[in-house]
Structures are given as C-alpha cells and as structure tokens.
Amino acid sequence: MTSSRVEQTVTYVVLALFSLLAVAPLVGVLLAAMHPSGALLSGISLPDSFSLDTFRTAWSEGGFGRLMTSSVIVAVAVVAFTTVLSITAGYAFGTMRFPAVDLLFYVILTGIVVPFESLVVPLYYSFRDAGLTDSYWALILPQTGLSISFGTFWMRAFFRSVPPELSDAARVDGASSWRILWRVLVPIGRPAILTMVLLVFMWTWNEFLLALVMISDDTHRTAPLGLSAFQSRYGVDVPGVSAAAVFVAAPVVILYILLQRQFLRGMLAGSIKG
Amino acid sequence: MVAAERGRRWRRPRAAPAPGQPRLIGYLYILPAFAVFAVFVIAPMIDGAWISLFQWDGVTPGRWVGLDNYRSALSDPAVRSAFMHSLVLVLFYAALPIAVGLGLTALLSHSRVRGITAVRTIIFLPQVLAAVVIGVSWKWLYDPQGPINQLLSAVGLGGLRRPWLGDFTTALPAVGVIGTWVTTGLCLVLFMAGVQRIPLSRYEAARVDGAGPLREFFAVTLPGLRNELAVALSLTVITALRSFDIIFVTTKGGPGTETTVPSLLIYQRAFVTGQVGSAAAIGAIMGVLILALSVGITRLVEERR
C-alpha cells in the first residue's frame, strides 16, 4: 500500500512538472501582452497594473479585424465543403461495395500524409495562371482537397461502426440510400462529425505556408500570416507581438478547452491507422 | 488489417444488393470528393513532378533538363545539409519525446491516476496551437533579454546567456527544443492512454514469472503500446520533416544556413531565387520520403502483431 502511495505521489509530481513545462511559455506570453505596448521587457515579469490597452493597440495596428474575418471565411468554407464531401464519400466507402472500392479509398488516404510543402509550388503556378492567387479560393480549394482525406477516412470509420440493421430497417420501409444517410445515419453520427469539424477548423485556421505563398494583398491575408507580418514589422514591441499571438491562438484554444474530448479523440485515433 | 477488414466485410455484407439499391451508386457518392481531391491534390502532385524536370525561373519558358534537378539535389551541399538538419530535428521532435514519454509511462504504468483529464488537457495544449504562434512565442523566450536567459542568470548560470537562435552552434538545437516542447505532450498523452488499456493481469503474470521492472517494460509495456508507438512515431517524424512554419518565423533558416531545412529551401528556391524546377524536385523527394516513412512505420507494426 505504502509503495503504491509513493508511486502515486511520484506520478502526480511528474505530471505537474510536465504540465508546468507545457504551460509556462504560454503564461509568459500572456503576461508579456499585459505590459504597456512598446515596453522593453527583460524576461518574465508581472505588469505594474492590469490593462488590456496593448490588446486594443495591437488589434488596430495589426488590422486583426480584417485578418480574423478572412480566417473565419476560409475556415468556415473549408469546413463546410469538407464535411459534406467527406460524409457522402465516407458513406459509400463504409457501407457499399463496388469495383475498385479499396483502391480508390487508398488513393484518397494518401492525402493524409501528403505535405503542403510538396504541393505549394505546382499549386501556386496553376492558381497564378488561373488568376486566382490573392483570392479566398486559393486557400479554400487546396485545403478542402487535403482535408477530404482525413474526413473520408474518419467518416468511413464511423459508418462502419453503425450496425447495419439500422439502415436495413429503413431500407425495408422503402427509404433511398440518400434518405437513409441524412435521416438515419447523420443524426446518430453527430459526435463523429463534430470531431471532424473541429479538427478541420483547427488545421485550416493554423495553416501558414499555403497562405504565405498564395496571398500577397492585405484584404485576403489570414490571421497567422498577419501575425508573422506583424512580428517582422514590430518585432521589438514584445507586448504588442504577444497580444497579436494571443488573438491568433484564441479561437482554437477556446474551442479546445470547451470540447477537448472531441479534439483528443480525433487527434489520437485519427492518425495513420489505415 | 486490410485482410481483417476484408474478412469482416464478407461475413457481414453491408450493402447486400437490395431492391432499388444498386451498389454502383457508390461511385456517385464518392464522385464529388474524388473530383476535388483529384484536381487539388493528385493533379498538383503530377504537375510538380513535371515541373521538376525543367530548369525554370517561373516567368520565362522553362528548359527541359530531365532528372538533372534530382541529380543536383542529391549532390548539392545546400540540399544535403538541409536534409541533415531535418535529421537532427527528428532527434528532437521524435526520438527525444518518445524516449521521455516511454520512460515516464514505464515509471507510471502501475498507478491508475485519477484526475488525469485536467493534466491531459494542459499537456496536450501545444498540439492545437498554430505553429506561427509557437514560433513567435519561442522567439521571445530565446531572446537575449528573454525569459530563458533571465532564468539562467537567476540560477547563477549567467555565463551561458546567449542569443540562442542567432548563435551558430545553438540555433539548430534551439529550434529542435521547440519541437520537443510541442510533441512531448502528444507522446505522453498517447502512451498514458495506451498503458491504461493494457490488462493489469499481464503485469501480474510478468511479476509471477519473476520479471524485474526492466523485463516487465520490454515484455509487457512496450508490446502493449505498439499501436501508440506507431502513431507517435509517424506524427512526430512527419512534423519534424515539415517544420516550415516554426523555422520561417524564428530563424528564416539562419544564422547562415544553420537551420535551413528542405521545406524552407522549397520556399526560397520557388519564390525567391527563381529555381522552380529544383524546388519542385525537393518537394517531390520530401513527399515520397514522408509517404514511404508512414507506410513503412505502419507496415512494421502490422507485421509484428
């Protein structure tokens, strides 16, 4: 008993230490953002007085109103397209049999590991030729293309987990496959769909390289791109840059804290298991 | 796993041909997704492979050079050193976090911890942050006036103070440590969840057989974590090989080319120095490498099972 109590204590101490390591840099950034804009900081220190002025200044100087709007537009569009396309494709891959079904699934699955690093060069020149750089489409379409891989993989796993009796019963009643999908299966698949929505939102919100390559005008810049530009311009203003970093991190972090179970389930199980 | 799935499907023919239920309708359901995937993922891959066969500055017509871009990529010291840097980053992003994660898991494998959810939320937090945010934050942590140097002075190690990201000897390891910070939580959460699924009876059996902690680890814990290990390995190695965002924000590949990695070379060559063909070749090599690694790691786990 005693040895197990010692073990328990060690466990908690170790876990506390690692939590501290994970969170300390973020607390440092948060504290830095509470100092007056432009203040010269040396190391981590508590602000003299609590003020959100730096957030206000950074928001207007960095144009974060517009940046966040662009990011929301892109993320919502990618999530919407990915969700619909992945549900229909996952449904077919998970419940139907047709020639080459496995081959087609594996082809789509490769997208899970294809990095944007390998695609940006050809994507940029194709979009440039089509006159579509500096547009939201240049961000929405490629990201939808890559997200579909995970989405299809994830929804297929869900559809396979549903007892076939459910759709059989509806089929006997004369329901079409389309109707079975949206009336019977999608409603019970809400938790799986939510996980997919959250992950795709996070990936899209955080994407940097594609935006860096595709976007050069102010109107279509996304938040991470704006943060990087803000840092190059106001690098010495540590409080200001920290506040800007908080803006970019906030939407995903808030969602994560509220819905962490869904995040963890997707990120831990949803990786390479094909 | 494929065989197992196939077996399952034969036993339970889900889409048995029912009246009004032609299975070929499956093609219609996958068509939209497949079309988008084909146009924005498959086509660029083929296009990239095609571009990589030319010497092209992105503006004037390119000149066909066959496999020269690949040949020179393999002999170019800049490309080689970039891949070497990636290899170093793999140590920091993958090897170190997995070793730490496994060590801790072995240490903690007997205690069933309560209240782990809160800890897990915090430890996992770096996973959801934008890499740009992480880079911006760590750039300040490593600053000459930043918290890390402050901490060193505070504990009497002021002699070690330096601009970590600007120093030729420390820049690459400093970037690596950022990766370690990001992926350790992932490994820890994965392994701790996995170890809770190993039946306690296996540990008891090992103990009855007289296994010490070390043998217990190799005989019970490690085999029990095979799946988690594969997931952790693929995710962290891929993160290490990509790692564009963090490096672009913290060092831009410098000082000199100390922290230049292949993804950064792709960006520089395609969009700064007008060597688009070479960039496409490096991109293709990276893509194939990552695909091969993921397939290889998965295979390794499947076969041993």
pLDDT per residue over B164-219, tens digit each?
A: 999 999 999 999 999 999 999 999 989 988 888 888 888 888 888 888 888 888 88
The pLDDT mean for chain B works out to 87
The pLDDT mean for chain A works out to 90
pLDDT per residue over B222-261, tens digit each?
A: 988 988 898 899 889 999 998 899 999 999 998 999 999 9
pLDDT per residue over A250-261, tens digit each?
A: 999 999 999 988
By C-alpha distance, the chain B residue nearest A113 is: B291
B245 to A267: CB separation less than 8 angstroms, yes or no: no
Contacts of A28 in chain B (CB under 8 A): 137, 140-141, 147
**What's the CA gap between B236 and B182, in Å, rounded?**
9
User: Rounded to the nearest 5 degrees, what angle is found at the Cα of A274, between the Cα atoms of A272 and B6?
Assistant: 165
By C-alpha distance, the chain B residue nearest A94 is: B14
Give the closest of A97, A104, A272 to B234, CB-based: A272
B33 to A227: CB separation less than 8 angstroms, yes or no: no
Give the closest of A81, A121, A142 to B279, CB-based: A121
Q: C-alpha distances in angstroms, B256 versus B187, B237, B250, B275? A: 33, 25, 14, 20
Averaged pLDDT, B20-34: 82
pLDDT of residue A3: 59
Q: What is the token pair recorded at B150?
A: 């402050």
SS3 A218: coil
Contacts of B15 in chain A (CB under 8 A): 95-97
| Sign of the alpha-carbon dihedral angle for B246, B248, B251, B254 | positive
User: Rounded to the nearest 5 degrees, what angle is found at the Cα of A192, between the Cα atoms of A186 and A198?
Assistant: 115
> Residue B53 belongs to what H/E stretch?
none
pLDDT at B299 over 90: no
* Residue B27 half-sphere exposure toward CB, CA atoms < 13 A: 5
Distance from CA of B205 to the nearest CA of A (A): 18
pLDDT at B9 over 60: no
Q: How many CB atoms lie within 10 A of CB A71?
A: 25
> Residue A40 belongs to what H/E stretch?
none
**What's the CA gap between A105 and B259, in Å, rounded?**
37
Q: Which percentage of chain B shows pLDDT scores above 70?
A: 90
Q: Which percentage of chain B shows pLDDT scores above 90?
A: 59
Q: Which percentage of chain A shows pLDDT scores above 90?
A: 68
pLDDT of residue B75: 92
SS3 A132: coil
Distance from CA of B185 to the nearest CA of A (A): 8
- Provide the angle, in degrees to the nearest 10, between the axes of the packed helices A2-33 and B131-141: 90
SS3 A270: coil
pLDDT per residue over A106-150, tens digit each?
A: 999 999 888 899 999 999 999 999 999 999 999 999 999 999 999
A123 to B26: CB separation less than 8 angstroms, yes or no: no
pLDDT at A220 over 50: yes
pLDDT per residue over A53-84, tens digit each?
A: 899 999 999 999 999 999 999 999 999 999 99
Check: CB of residue A199 under 8 Å from CB of residue A266.
yes
By C-alpha distance, the chain A residue nearest B123 is: A19
Averaged pLDDT, A181-187: 93
Check: CB of residue B294 under 8 Å from CB of residue B215.
no
pLDDT band with cut points at 50, 70 and 90 for residue B119:
confident
Distance from CA of A188 to the nearest CA of B (A): 18
Higher pLDDT, residue B105 or B88: B88
pLDDT at A182 over 60: yes
- How far is residue B74 CA from its own chain's centroid? 23
Question: By C-alpha distance, which of A98, A196, A210 is closest to A153?
Answer: A196
By C-alpha distance, the chain B residue nearest A169 is: B18
**What's the CA gap between B146 and A238, in Å, rounded?**
10
Higher pLDDT, residue B244 or B159: B244
pLDDT band with cut points at 50, 70 and 90 for residue A13:
confident
Averaged pLDDT, A150-157: 95
pLDDT at A163 over 50: yes
Distance from CA of B203 to the nearest CA of A (A): 15
Mutate to test the interface with B, among A15, A156, A221 (most CBs of B within 10 A): A15
pLDDT at B20 over 70: no
Amino acid in the structure at residue B206: A
pLDDT of residue B1: 37
pLDDT of residue B110: 65
Q: How far apart are the first and last CA of chain A?
A: 43
pLDDT at B3 over 60: no
pLDDT at A42 over 80: no
pLDDT per residue over A20-34, tens digit each?
A: 999 999 999 999 999
pLDDT of residue B193: 84
B291 to A110: CB separation less than 8 angstroms, yes or no: yes
Contacts of B237 in chain A (CB under 8 A): none
